[in-house]
Amino acid sequence: MIRGMRGATTASQNTEETIISATEELLAKLIEVNEVKPELVASVFISTTEDISAAFPARALRKFPGWTYVPVMCMREMPVDNSLQMCIRVMLHVNTEQTQQEIKHVYLNKAKVLRPDLDVKAQK
């Protein structure tokens, strides 16, 4: 069965280095806590708020061994009034036997406010 694994983080600046670094940290944690194998990933969607424009965050995923052929797409979030700025969101579509309750979603930095109920620490 394909399940979605969510995560979000924020970048401190709109620079290539900061965007790639923040995305890499988020993806590494999401992959680690869910023990994701790249060959089981159907696709990855990465979205950003409008204030992130210096780099494609999907480039961070290419730093991980075995992820070369995983389809990844970047897109822009809807501009909603008073929403979290400098935000990078990730959705992994993974073939897994895990139930929805067993999946660990990851929210880092200022993005922790988006889903405090799904905080990895709270799930332990």
Q: Catalytic pick from 3, 25, 59, 115?
A: 115
CA distance 19 to 11: 6
Q: Catalytic pick from 6, 25, 35, 50?
A: 6
Contact 84, 113 (CB under 8 A): yes
* 69 given a catalytic annotation: no
Closest CA to 45 of 84, 5, 12: 5
* 59 given a catalytic annotation: no
Q: How many CB atoms lie within 10 A of CB 5?
A: 22
CA distance 68 to 3: 21
Q: Catalytic pick from 17, 50, 62, 102?
A: 62
Q: In the chain, where does DSSP find H-type helix? A: 16-34, 120-123
* 74 given a catalytic annotation: yes
Q: Catalytic pick from 3, 25, 59, 74?
A: 74
Q: Cite the active site residues.
A: 6, 62, 74, 77, 89, 107, 115
